[in-house]
Amino acid sequence: MRTFFLFSWMLTVSVALLPLAYFLVLGWKAREAEFIDKVRDQTQMEIYFKKFWSEGRARYQRKYHARHSSDEASPHILFKARYRKIVSRYYYILPGFLFVVVVGLLTGLVVATAIRTGYDHYIEYFASEAKTESEAAKAGVVINNPIALERIGITDLDADFAPLPPVHLSLSALSAIAGAYLFMVAQLIQQCRARTLVYSNLFGASLRILVAVPLGLSVSTLASEALGPFISFGLGAFPITELRTLVRRLTTTSLKATDPRADDDQTVAMLGVTQSVSDVLAEENITCAQQLADIDPVVLAVRTGLSFDYVLFLAAQSLVWCFLGKTASVLGPLGLADARAIWYLMAKPENERNEVLAAVDAQFAALGAQQPPKCIDAVLLREAFEKIATDPYTLFLVHFTSDLDKPKHEVSISNVVVSKAA
């Protein structure tokens, strides 16, 4: 019995830990490469370091200088150091240890309870068979090799489950832990596959499986005895963040009110942002364009699990929103809601640029004639385009993601010529 218990216990713990181990051994390095490989053009990396990593960069540069004599660390090496500062493997040690303890304890209790329950059913079944044989023998029926049943003592049975205490979980408690285990392992597997497993996810997984039992037991008492275990399992498999979001939406629907974030959340109105993405950004307390423009894109991509390219796209949009507000949503269908697209437009030869700007002016003239006007004046729009095209963060994004086909006449990003059209 003890061998079977230890094997089952180790198996359940291993299933939960293997995604974490696989990610740390293989996935972590691949995730790092997704960021480091984006450093295509290093000429504007100084803008990023000054904006997001000024003091840390200076400290690392001193350490690098001490190790490598007079050599200066390249922007590529500095950017790698920045990433490892944000999400080092060492950060996984404490949450990983906590995760192992929580999973080991609760899965052990579940396995022990399941074996105890199975053994009880085993005894009941053979006791019933033995009774049937006894009655058959009294009726004169000869049975070869009758059942000889010997039950293990409770003390001996509990000793087989050491070092766990002699605790027998109720069906609702067992169902709640099983539901949380299902969700937790499925989420870890998905994050391992997507290479987005962050050390904070392990804290969340430990919390989820710990609160599963009190949450499941408290809610299951409101249902019938037959539905209690099923409800406990379902609540255990429900993510905390989604549960909170669901409760908020159900409350606003029942009160016939709108989502309090609907009117002031600029991220929902951005190009390519769905409600689920907006909820992810809201978890990071980001609900406006200025916050997106001010946060380190590496930090945001690591915390949210969103792809780095997508976060850079949001950052480029946020710059347009900072200058133009809701007018940026009008520029989306025109392909100018991205600061990099505006830079590329303003970097074109004057005749090509003016042709496009004339078309934009015509579009905005039609919208401006509506009452109330839906966008800013064309002259102010031209002025905003010039400011966006020469903004340092725009220059960084252009060079950092420099797949743009730069005009042949351009020598460097600082030579972008902008002119005001009458």
Query: Residue 111: what residue type?
Result: V
Percent of the chain with pLDDT over 90: 14
User: Mean pLDDT highest for which of 83-87, 94-98, 232-236, 270-274?
Assistant: 94-98
Extents of the domains making up the chain: 93-238, 270-415
What per-residue confidence (pLDDT) applies to 221?
72
- Burial (0-12, 13-18, 19+ Cβ within 10 Å), 45: buried
**Rounded average pLDDT over 168-174:** 82
Query: Residue 349: what residue type?
Result: P
Q: How confident is the model at residue 371 (pLDDT cuts 50, 70, 90)?
A: very low
Is residue 130 pLDDT above 60, yes or no? yes
Is residue 384 pLDDT above 60, yes or no? yes
Quote the distance between the C-alpha of residue 406 and its chain's center.
35
* DSSP states along 125-161: HHHHHHHHHHHHHHTT---SS-----PPPHHHHHHHT
Poorest-confidence range of 13-22, 209-218, 237-246, 264-273?
237-246
What per-residue confidence (pLDDT) applies to 407?
46
User: pLDDT tens digits for 118-127?
Assistant: 777 777 777 7
User: pLDDT tens digits for 220-237?
Assistant: 676 666 677 777 777 766
What per-residue confidence (pLDDT) applies to 20?
94
Helices 339-346 and 350-368: crossing angle in degrees, nearest 10, is 130
Q: What span, in angstroms and rounded, lies between the C-alpha atoms of 364 and 374?
A: 9
What pTM, to 2 d.p., does this model score?
0.74
- Burial (0-12, 13-18, 19+ Cβ within 10 Å), 11: exposed
Is residue 109 pLDDT above 70, yes or no? yes
